[in-house]
Structure 1
Amino acid sequence: MNENTLNSLGYPQIQKNLAACATSYLGKRYAREMRPMLDARLIEIRLEETAEAAALIRFGASVPIPSLEGMETIMDLLGTGYLFSERDFSHLSQFLRSCVQLMKYMEAKSEAAPTVSRYAASMMGMESLLSEIERCIHSGRIQDQASKELVRIRKKMTVNEERMKRKLDSLVSKHRSIMQENVISQRGGRTVLPIKKEFRKLVKGSVLDESGSGQTVYIEPAELVGLQMELASLQAEESREEMKILGDLTSLAESYHREIALNTETIGILDFLFAKAKYAATMDGRIVHVNANGRVRIQNARHPFMGASMVPLDFAIGHTYSSLIITGPNTGGKTVALKTLGLLTLMMQSGLLVPVSEGGEMAVYREVAVDIGDGQSLEQALSTFSAHIRNMIGILEQADSSTLVLIDEMASGTDPGEGVGLSIAMLEELHHLGATVVATTHFGEIKHFAAATPGFENARMEFDTVSLQPLYRLRIGEAGESYAYSIALKLGMPQRIIERSKVVSDQGVSRHVSPNLTPSVPIVNSAPSPRSSTMEQEHLNKTRNTVKSVNPSAQTGTRKQSDRSETLEPTSPAKAFRKGDRVYAAYLNQSGIVCDLEDSRGNIGVMLRGRKVKIHKKRLTLHISAQELYPGDDYDLDIVLETKENRKKRKLMGRKHVEGLKIELPPEE
């Protein structure tokens, strides 16, 4: 997965949240280094492990995961010749005791969590190493019994210290009247008496220091010199013996290098695993079924950063369609839906439980490619559209059947006409490459394209037309609106501007341009490649020879595409379409038959590939008039517009009542 995708979808925040749930340095490291996996079977195993760990936590278990305090230093220096200190061995002994405790705990949980308990079963006890460390070191200090020599040295030190104490008590009693304070001090590791400066000659010994004011001198009494030299010698012997003991312990620990490394790594894995379980508990994460076939079906999905504040998302793709076009108003939740799907996919592929209902199914993708946000760069002065196109070029280069493509606001940032055409062409290419595509848009042409194209489906974000508030619920199978007029009116836009906008939108700019402006008439110069339904084709094959000369789909022979394009070049837009007219929708690159006349908003009902689509008349071009296509004004158009089954049903219903007989109409978009 590329870093742009991970950053755009918020994956680094997931890593950060997960690391906060870990207790050890290794668990936190594994969380920060976590990446989506590509092997579906491995992902299933990781999900099952996490679900097991989550079940233990859910039932109130407190798993004794060692903190690994001090073990990072030990693992970095073990085997390098470094001499470990008493503190290091205290950390190591605590680690070894924790390992034994964890192994016993997980052994007792082997039935409830068989997969997780196998990790602990692979750990080593190392009782001999633990026993030797505990014999030699306690509370961060080397014990007397660590060696016979150390016992001897410390006994002599004890005797020396007792003699020195008695001598000091005698000296203090003797010189109390000339001491600046009744306190024995240390200077350079030597015991001294604080004597008033004017009485310095009354004490035999060496002046080792003087106070800042010069009123006190610190004298080492001559009677203590011999005792202190003997003590210093014993302390040096003690230090050498302690170094020897630490060296022996270090060598012993190095002989267990492999076992210590194995236990440390295993505890890091278990800590990471239980961190995933703890994180799942914070968002009610569940396990999902995994497939590598692009199928997704989840219910009550929530974005992990929004939690209960988000209206749950129901989403499906990859069963009867692989491309989904989501429409709806701004702030209606379209982008949140995209990011929720993308981030939950990355989480699932990382072995994380996701906040969805039980029984969900998600697909594993080799790549998740996103175009979310305008991606502008002030330094490079890139426009929104330029950044969008740059992203899309990269997506098209890498897309294949194992790619999830998420595109926010298609056709934005440029001329709507060109943007729509370019967007549809890119959608077709992505579909041809086999990618799973989820895109959001405001443009009706794109949703009409989705309605008329196999493998595509529409969806909309619900909107309350009374309160003019988004409901944030996704409805798949329905195309949405932008509700621009309703929202603008509520925000205070004058009614006259709203009405004028409706007139211009319905009838086209050229019919309502100001008298002092010269309207430019768009010229259609792209040739259609209409796709006729089987029923239409059967009828066209029976029509007059004059029709055959116009419609290449009814001709025989092997004419070149250039000839077909020339033959099918559309005529100028008609003033009014008649039922039965064959019309061409350039932005869909498809032809259809007019089945419903123009409504009050200028929309025409067109039968495209067995589906009834409402298209504004300004987006239609007359291809072949009904007068040319069908003989006589009284020709029964139901032969073209109705299925054979429905015609039979209507004929039967005209003669008698038939219980349960229903006319099934094509879906309307």
Structure 2
Amino acid sequence: MSVLNPRTRRDLELDKVLAQVAGYAASELGQNAVLSLAPISDRGRIEREFALVEEMMEAVRGGFTPGGISDLRPLLDEAKVRGDLKPEQLLTVAQTIEATGELALALSGPHTPRLAALVGRLSDQGELAKAIRRAIDDRGEIREDATPKLRELARRKRDHTEEITAALRRFIDRHRDLVQEPVITRRGGRLVIPLRSGAQGSVRLVIHDSSASGQTLFAEPSSLVHANNQLRELEDDIWRERLRILAELAGRLLAEERRLRGDMEILARIDALYARARYALAQEATLPLLSDDGRVELFGARHPLLGSRAVPITIRFGGEHRVAVITGPNTGGKTVTLKTVGLSCAMAQSGIPVPASRAVLTVFEKIRSDIGEEQSIEQNLSTFSSHMKNIVGILAEVDERSLVLLDELGAGTDPQEGAALGLSI
């Protein structure tokens, strides 16, 4: 059974807190990992998580940042479907592998032994990154010298283009009266010259296009048709070699799919720890001392969603005092205090530092709440009936390992009846 049920998760607005913490992550990987956090009741796991957060806080103080990591899983899925990837996508793979290597190095020092053990599980993909870098430049384009064959084809294309260009310039010089504009351009992948509309009867030409007005013809001399055909063949050969390179790199990527997917899980965890560490430092949050004796002790605790408007509270209960009653005038902060207590416990059991100067918190098996107004039009329940139904459900499932938060118990009915209900509950 979950520590929080949907009603309590909504009452405490835990998802809003998770979104706030996720904003401190360096990547979408970390953001999603934070958003998926949920309270657990295993004290040992929570303490191990806080030990990692504490080490990460030390690393962040020392200037650590995860760098440019990206989620490679969508690219792996695309490569499996298409058989290749775009050059810029492969560049993202290389950049993530390189950032992962730098991250692992930064967290492998003696001051962060637990994090070092975590990054020690990352696979070494240095050779894959080198292969990609040899073929793809920093702009995300295939290098001309990516392979010996591509280098040779590119050289031949340059030479062939220069020969055709020189021949076209000679044609322009000899037939200036026929030339609309002394430039060389492309139409249909072929090198052509803009000629006046009457030129086709004066010299042998192959016309590939014309202007909208029909006054300009884009043509090549018949003597250069074979050379232009050869240039197109070279371009086709280059295109096929580029496709082969992309497919080969995608194949190498997919050969490492299992390890890379495992790396993504580890990177998500590291970035989620980074987000929580940054959150703790930015919000002056504390790592709580965990307890099993029912104590809840918060000193200078602040509601995490109120920011600078939050009024710090100090509250202690548990142990011999298993019930705490919060009283005061309307708008005096009773509900905020109740939510601060619940959120502090939920955050701690999610491995998130608590916004307080000090905290001692019991690890609860269940946290349940009845806070705020909740009417059910579909079930024809009044506010009071809705509260009673919720409270009856709470009483049926809680035990001595549970935290129950009740706001304005017995409200919505006659005060005497409400008081009697409160006492019986």
TM range (shorter): over 0.9
> Which residue of the partner structure matches residue 368 of structure 1?
367
Q: Is the 8 A contact 2:84 2:249 kept in 1?
A: no
- CA, structure 1 residues 183+146, in 2 after alignment: closer, same or farther (shift >3 Å)? closer
How far has the Cα of 1:299 moved from its partner?
1.0
1:156-167 alignment runs, 5 A limit:
156-167=156-167
Whole-angstrom CA distance in 1 between matches of 2:257 and 2:28: 19
CA-to-partner distance for each residue in 1:267-298, whole Å, 9 max, x for gaps? 22111110011111221110111123321112
Q: Secondary structure at the match of 1:218?
A: strand
Whole-angstrom CA distance in 2 between matches of 1:400 and 1:176: 98
How far has the Cα of 1:70 moved from its partner?
6.4
CA-to-partner distance for each residue in 1:124-150, whole Å, 9 max, x for gaps? 333322332223332333334433332
> Which residue of the partner structure matches residue 129 of structure 2?
130
> Which residue of the partner structure matches residue 189 of structure 1?
189
Whole-angstrom CA distance in 2 between matches of 1:304 and 1:281: 13
Q: Is the 8 A contact 2:335 2:407 kept in 1?
A: yes
> Which residue of the partner structure matches residue 121 of structure 1?
120
CA-to-partner distance for each residue in 1:560-589, whole Å, 9 max, x for gaps? xxxxxxxxxxxxxxxxxxxxxxxxxxxxxx
Whole-angstrom CA distance in 2 between matches of 1:281 and 1:149: 54
> Which residue of the partner structure matches residue 101 of structure 1?
102
Whole-angstrom CA distance in 2 between matches of 1:368 and 1:418: 27
Structure 1 position 18 matched with structure 2 position 32: no
> Which residue of the partner structure matches residue 385 of structure 2?
386
Query: Larger Cα Rg: Structure 1 or Structure 2?
Result: 1
Q: Which runs of 5+ in 1 are unaligned?
A: 427-669
Q: Is the 8 A contact 1:136 1:145 kept in 2?
A: yes
Residue range with higher mean Cα deviation, 237-246 or 284-293? 237-246
Whole-angstrom CA distance in 2 between matches of 1:78 and 1:362: 48
Whole-angstrom CA distance in 1 between matches of 2:315 and 2:21: 26
Which residue of 4, 9, 17 maps to 2:7? 4
CA-to-partner distance for each residue in 1:16-53, whole Å, 9 max, x for gaps? 11221112221111112111112111111111211221
- CA, structure 1 residues 292+82, in 2 after alignment: closer, same or farther (shift >3 Å)? farther
Structure 1 position 76 matched with structure 2 position 74: no
- CA, structure 1 residues 56+150, in 2 after alignment: closer, same or farther (shift >3 Å)? closer
Whole-angstrom CA distance in 2 between matches of 1:69 and 1:127: 16
- RMSD value, Cα: 2.1
Whole-angstrom CA distance in 2 between matches of 1:306 and 1:64: 27
How far has the Cα of 1:225 moved from its partner?
1.3
Q: Which runs of 5+ in 2 are unaligned?
A: none
Structure 1 position 218 matched with structure 2 position 221: no
Structure 1 position 87 matched with structure 2 position 98: no
- CA, structure 1 residues 268+175, in 2 after alignment: closer, same or farther (shift >3 Å)? farther
Number of residues of Structure 1 aligned to a counterpart in Structure 2: 421
CA-to-partner distance for each residue in 1:335-379, whole Å, 9 max, x for gaps? 111010011111101100001223x21011222111111212456
Q: Is the 8 A contact 1:291 1:364 kept in 2?
A: yes
How far has the Cα of 1:84 moved from its partner?
2.4
> Which residue of the partner structure matches residue 330 of structure 1?
330
> Which residue of the partner structure matches residue 411 of structure 1?
410
The code of the aligned residue for 1:83 comes to D
- CA, structure 1 residues 391+203, in 2 after alignment: closer, same or farther (shift >3 Å)? farther
> Which residue of the partner structure matches residue 266 of structure 1?
266
The code of the aligned residue for 1:105 comes to A
Whole-angstrom CA distance in 2 between matches of 1:215 and 1:143: 40
Q: Is the 8 A contact 1:164 1:227 kept in 2?
A: yes
CA-to-partner distance for each residue in 1:308-331, whole Å, 9 max, x for gaps? 433321111212111112221111
Q: Secondary structure at the match of 1:194?
A: strand
> Which residue of the partner structure matches residue 346 of structure 2?
346
Residue range with higher mean Cα deviation, 28-37 or 95-104? 95-104
The code of the aligned residue for 1:382 comes to L
> Which residue of the partner structure matches residue 527 of structure 1?
none
Provide TM-score, normalisation by structure 1: 0.60
Higher strand share: 1
The code of the aligned residue for 2:330 comes to N
> Which residue of the partner structure matches residue 571 of structure 1?
none
> Which residue of the partner structure matches residue 480 of structure 1?
none
Q: Secondary structure at the match of 1:300?
A: strand
> Taking CA–CA contacts closer than 8 Å with sequence separation of 6 or more, which of the two structures ends up with the larger relative contact order?
2
